[in-house]
Amino acid sequence: MDELQKLIFGGESDTVDFKQRVTKPEKIARTMVSFANTRGGTILVGVKDNGYVCGVDPEEEKHTLDLAAGFYCDPPVLLQYEEIEQDDRTVLKVTIAESKTKPHFAKVKEDDWRGFVRVKDTSVQTSKMVDKVMEQEPSAFEPLPLDRHETAVLDYLLTHPRITLNQYMKLANLSERRAYRILVKLVIHGYLLLHDKEKEDFYTLA
C-alpha cells in the first residue's frame, strides 16, 4: 500500500482532511489554521469524503490554496505541495507543519478573524482563552514539565474514561478560569483530547 492509499485508508482525522475541490478560500483557511495551531496535517485535494479519488487540476487548486494561505490566514500559513498520480488522476497533497508562530487566525468575514484548532476530524473555533494560551506556550507537543495540578488530571484519567471542566475544578480545587487554562494547555500539547459535540464538553487521554 503506498503512502497516498495509507492516508486515504486511515480516513479523516486530527491530521488528515479530504477535499474534492477547493472553491472557497475562506473555508479552507479554517482547516489550514487548525492544522498550523495544532500539530500540523495534510489536506488531500481530489479525494471525496468517502475516500474516492476523483482527481483535480493541481494548478487551479494551488491558486485558491495560495490565496487562502496568504490572505485569509494571519499570520500566513506555509504550504508544501506534492502532486500524486493515481489511476490517471492527480491528487494534490498539501502539507501544513505545526506552526512556531501560533496562534494563527482565519478570516471568517470582513474584519472578523478567528482561531481554530483541530479536534478529531473537524476544525473547532477557539475561545480567546485558548488563543492566549497558545501565544504564551512554546511550540506544542514537546514534553512539558507537569505540575501537580496537571498530573492530577492525567492520573485521574488513567482510571476514569473522561473528565469535565467541573469535575476537574473539584478534583484539583481550582477556579474555573485556571482549570480551563490547564485543560486547554494539555490539549494543545497533545496530552488530552477535547470532545465538544455533546451537551457538556469533556476531555479524555490522547
Return the CATH number of the domain spanning residue range 143-205.
1.10.10.10
The model's pTM: 0.68
Residue 194's DSSP bridge partners are 203
Residue 156: enclosing H or E segment and its boundaries?
Answer: helix 148-159
Using 50, 70 and 90 to split pLDDT, how confident is the model at 197? low
CATH 1.10.10.10 in the chain is located at 143-205
Spatial CA neighbour of 120 closest among 12, 6, 9: 12
CATH 3.30.950.30 in the chain is located at 3-125
pLDDT, tens only, 100-128? 888 899 998 888 888 898 988 888 887 66
Q: How many CB atoms lie within 10 A of CB 37?
A: 27
Higher pLDDT, 178 or 82: 82
**Position 95 pLDDT exceeds 90:** yes
pLDDT, tens only, 13-72? 999 999 999 999 999 999 999 999 999 999 999 999 999 999 999 999 999 999 999 999
Residue 104: its pLDDT value, please?
92
**Position 88 pLDDT exceeds 80:** yes
CA-atom Rg of the chain in angstroms: 18
pLDDT, tens only, 129-176? 566 666 766 554 456 678 899 999 999 999 999 999 999 999 999 998
Structural contact between residues 153 and 182, judged by C-beta atoms closer than 8 angstroms:
yes
Residue 76: its pLDDT value, please?
96
Domain range 3-125, CATH class: alpha beta
C-alpha atoms less than 13 angstroms from C-alpha of 49 in its C-beta half-sphere:
2
Spatial CA neighbour of 46 closest among 84, 6, 102: 84
